[in-house]
């Protein structure tokens, strides 16, 4: 694709603006609380946009749009059920976490169980961020930028990694959330533009709905190999959703940095409302690409990039280039910051730097950020050998997410569940899920997650019956304002009702 001078100008100006604002926002981060949690001063609108921008990246524009091309609108369940999950997090999870004043999710497990439980989760999560999350985003971005702009994939990986890594290393979480605010807005606007132009290309909304009626169903048969309705509403989809939005450091770090519980809850509700809109700017274009280019595209992951290359006029290409590049950076910077937080707080400080002061911890965090970035860039090209980007990231997370959700849920509900039950559940989750994938390859992996979760829950309950803790643990109490948002139940109920309406409309 040939880019004109306006394309290059728009791209360079946008990226320069993002980096400049991020560096200014993070210039005074001196203590560990400043660097890793933005001094616990984040307001609701920063939290909400940062949650969305950190979540949505090219694995959505490449992977989810590709699933829209193949499966159809049913893939939107990952977004719409996520909105309901966010409400649950705001109602039940966030109040407990903020009362403890934790920096990381593994830290909560030490309060509930022991230091060994914290260490196991920290190692799992840190490895998953680098090998699964970071590498996937980098690889997906390389596919998109190569398809649209002809940039060499290896060059694209390093260009994105170095750019996002630079301001993340310098400014910490505050730099990350400010970059997310800008890039999130550009992402939503750019996706909306592609949807509008795409609708024009397929003959308007009525024509789109009529010609793609078979793909505009959100509820698929119970035995569907990827998204059976049972897994969506009462089964395995809840496992990755509860982990991702409630227990995943990459996401929860924004809410842990809230200045109060009320601000955190408002930010989560804003993110939930935006999640309801995401399928219309990501999945719809994937379905449009099927209508326009279904006979010529062999790889569904190329659907969105190919459509952009075909339909965007000169000038807008540079803006979409910047939006995609920004989307990637918003996810990369968040993952890098979260991985370095877990390494610094849960591993370095615990084992090697017990006496380390705040400035030393910030220095270690910056070094860890750089190391993770380099490793992820080196691993990213390997992702292509695993098939679909979306399948890669979802299936590999399944090795640890059911066990982590089990340990947190049982630990919160069953007051005397012992450390041994939690530790063994975390360790057994990997071979159990892997065995299900190997011996039942034709069963939807969401069912594998559900089976793993239920089995590990039963295991923890049995261990608790025979070897319960002698007394329930007492959690620390922070000085954070944990007064609940007065309208929390109202906003959450409205979001759940809106989700139900969308499912009825696209049944």
Digit-coded pLDDT (tens) for 89-137 = 999 999 999 999 888 899 999 999 999 999 999 999 988 888 888 888 7
Taking 70 as the threshold, does the pLDDT of residue 414 lie above it? yes
Per-residue pLDDT, 499: 97
**Residue bearing tokens 């509820």:** 219
Task: Enter the DSSP assignment of 3.
Answer: -
Pairwise pLDDT comparison (414 vs 314), residue with the higher score: 414
Is 417 in contact with 111 (CB distance < 8 Å)?
A: no
Task: Enter the DSSP assignment of 381.
Answer: G
Taken in order 390, 396, 399, 400, is the CA torsion positive or negative?
negative
Per-residue pLDDT, 196: 93
Where is average pLDDT lowest: 44-48, 70-74, 142-146, 373-377?
Answer: 142-146
What is the torsion angle, in degrees rounded to the nearest 10, for the CA atoms of residue 432, residue 434, residue 436 and residue 440?
Answer: -170
Contacts of 203 (CB under 8 A, 6+ apart): 211
Taking 80 as the threshold, does the pLDDT of residue 364 lie above it? yes
Per-residue pLDDT, 235: 84
Q: What is the pTM of this model?
A: 0.86
Mean pLDDT for the stretch of residues 253-258: 84
Phi, psi of 216, deg, nearest 5: -100, 40
Per-residue pLDDT, 137: 79
Number of other CB atoms surrounding residue 58 within 10 Å: 28
Per-residue pLDDT, 23: 67
First-to-last alpha carbon distance for the chain, in angstroms, is: 39
Span 164-209, pLDDT tens digits: 777 666 655 566 667 777 777 777 888 888 899 999 999 998 999 9
Percent of the chain with pLDDT over 90: 36
- Taken in order of first residue, the domains within the chain and their CATH numbers are 5-397+477-505 (1.20.1730.10)
d(CA 69, CA 304): 9
Per-residue pLDDT, 132: 83
Number of other CB atoms surrounding residue 265 within 10 Å: 27
Per-residue pLDDT, 148: 62
3-state helix, strand, coil in the chain (%, to 5): 80, 0, 20
Phi, psi of 294, deg, nearest 5: -55, -30
Number of other CB atoms surrounding residue 376 within 10 Å: 27
CA angle 287, 285, 145 (to 5 degrees): 120
Q: Is 417 helix (H, G, I), strand (E, B) or coil?
A: coil
Per-residue pLDDT, 10: 76
d(CA 366, CA 32): 11
Taking 80 as the threshold, does the pLDDT of residue 476 lie above it? yes
Per-residue pLDDT, 144: 67
**Residue bearing tokens 């990694």:** 161
Task: Enter the DSSP assignment of 33.
Answer: H
Pairwise pLDDT comparison (497 vs 68), residue with the higher score: 497
Per-residue pLDDT, 70: 83
> Could you give the residue ranges of the DSSP H alpha helices within 129-152?
135-149
Taken in order 367, 368, 371, 373, is the CA torsion positive or negative?
negative
d(CA 26, CA 24): 6
Taking 70 as the threshold, does the pLDDT of residue 486 lie above it? yes
Number of other CB atoms surrounding residue 266 within 10 Å: 22
Mean pLDDT for the stretch of residues 271-286: 92
Taking 60 as the threshold, does the pLDDT of residue 35 lie above it? no
Number of other CB atoms surrounding residue 251 within 10 Å: 24
Span 199-211, pLDDT tens digits: 999 999 899 999 9
Span 227-246, pLDDT tens digits: 788 888 888 889 999 998 99
Per-residue pLDDT, 262: 95
Closest CA to 328 of 159, 149, 83: 159
Taking 90 as the threshold, does the pLDDT of residue 355 lie above it? no
Taking 90 as the threshold, does the pLDDT of residue 1 lie above it? no
d(CA 143, CA 152): 9
Mean pLDDT for the stretch of residues 133-157: 77
Per-residue pLDDT, 59: 65
Mean pLDDT for the stretch of residues 271-298: 90
Per-residue pLDDT, 38: 54
Phi, psi of 489, deg, nearest 5: -70, -35
d(CA 438, CA 442): 9
Q: Is 27 helix (H, G, I), strand (E, B) or coil?
A: coil
Calculate the average pLDDT of the chain.
Answer: 84
Is 172 in contact with 282 (CB distance < 8 Å)?
A: no
Taking 80 as the threshold, does the pLDDT of residue 67 lie above it? yes
- Burial class, 280, CB count within 10 angstroms (exposed 0-12 / middle 13-18 / buried 19+): middle
Percent of the chain with pLDDT over 70: 89
Taking 70 as the threshold, does the pLDDT of residue 257 lie above it? yes
User: Residue 460: pLDDT band by 50, 70, 90 thresholds?
Assistant: very high
Number of other CB atoms surrounding residue 439 within 10 Å: 8
**Residue bearing tokens 């694709």:** 1
Per-residue pLDDT, 34: 54
Is 178 in contact with 22 (CB distance < 8 Å)?
A: yes
> Could you give the residue ranges of the DSSP H alpha helices within 342-444?
358-379, 389-397, 401-413, 419-439
Q: Is 70 helix (H, G, I), strand (E, B) or coil?
A: helix
**Residue bearing tokens 């009702």:** 497
* Beta bridge partners of residue 258, listed in sequence order: 42
When computed from its CA atoms, the radius of gyration of the chain, rounded to whole angstroms, is 22
CA angle 247, 130, 226 (to 5 degrees): 65
User: Residue 58: pLDDT band by 50, 70, 90 thresholds?
Assistant: low
């Amino acid at each position: 694709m040939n880019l004109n001078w306006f394309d290059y100008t728009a791209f360079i100006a946008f990226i320069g603006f993002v980096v400049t604002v991020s560096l200014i926002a993070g210039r005074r981060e001196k203590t560990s609380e400043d660097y890793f949690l933005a001094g616990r001063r984040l307001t609701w609108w920063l939290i909400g946009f940062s949650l969305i921008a950190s979540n949505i990246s090219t694995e959505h524009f490449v992977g989810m749009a590709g699933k829209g091309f193949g499966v159809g609108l049913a893939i939107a369940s990952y977004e719409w059920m996520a909105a309901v999950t966010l409400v649950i997090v705001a109602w039940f999870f966030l109040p407990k976490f903020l009362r403890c004043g934790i920096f990381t999710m593994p830290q909560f497990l030490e309060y509930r169980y022991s230091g060994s439980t914290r260490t196991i989760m920290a190692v799992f999560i840190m490895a998953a961020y680098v090998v699964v999350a970071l590498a996937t985003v980098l690889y997906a971005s390389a596919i998109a930028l190569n398809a649209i702009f002809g940039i060499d994939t290896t060059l694209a990986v390093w260009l994105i990694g170095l750019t996002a890594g630079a301001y993340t290393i310098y400014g910490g979480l505050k730099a990350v959330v400010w970059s997310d605010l800008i890039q999130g807005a550009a992402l939503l606007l750019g996706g909306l533009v592609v949807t509008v132009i795409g609708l024009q290309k397929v003959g308007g909304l009525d024509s789109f709905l009529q010609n793609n009626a078979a793909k505009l169903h959100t509820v698929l048969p119970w035995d569907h190999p990827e998204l059976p309705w049972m897994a969506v509403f009462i089964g395995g989809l809840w496992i990755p959703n509860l982990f991702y939005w409630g227990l995943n450091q990459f996401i929860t770090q924004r809410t842990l940095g809230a200045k109060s519980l009320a601000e955190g809850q408002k930010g989560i509700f804003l993110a939930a409302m935006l999640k309801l809109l995401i399928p219309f700017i990501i999945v719809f274009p994937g379905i449009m690409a099927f209508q326009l280019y279904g006979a010529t595209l062999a790889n569904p992951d190329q659907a969105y990039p190919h459509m952009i290359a075909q339909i965007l006029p000169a000038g807008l290409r540079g803006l979409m280039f910047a939006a995609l590049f920004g989307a990637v950076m918003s996810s990369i910077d968040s993952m890098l910051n979260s991985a370095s937080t877990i390494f610094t707080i849960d591993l370095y400080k615990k084992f090697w730097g017990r006496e380390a002061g705040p400035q030393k911890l910030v220095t270690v965090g910056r070094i860890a950020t750089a190391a993770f970035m380099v490793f992820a860039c080196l691993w990213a090209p390997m992702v292509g050998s695993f098939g679909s980007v979306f399948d890669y990231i979802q299936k590999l997370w399944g090795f640890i997410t059911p066990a982590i959700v089990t340990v947190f849920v049982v630990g919160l509900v069953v007051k005397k569940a012992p450390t041994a039950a939690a530790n063994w559940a975390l360790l057994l989750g990997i071979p159990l899920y892997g065995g299900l994938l190997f011996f039942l390859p034709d069963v939807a992996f969401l069912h594998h997650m559900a089976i793993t979760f239920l089995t590990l829950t039963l295991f923890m309950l049995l261990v608790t019956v025979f070897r319960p803790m002698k007394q329930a643990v007492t959690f620390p109490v922070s000085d954070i304002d944990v007064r609940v948002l007065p309208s929390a139940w109202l906003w959450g109920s409205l979001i759940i009702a809106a989700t139900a309406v969308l499912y009825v409309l696209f049944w």
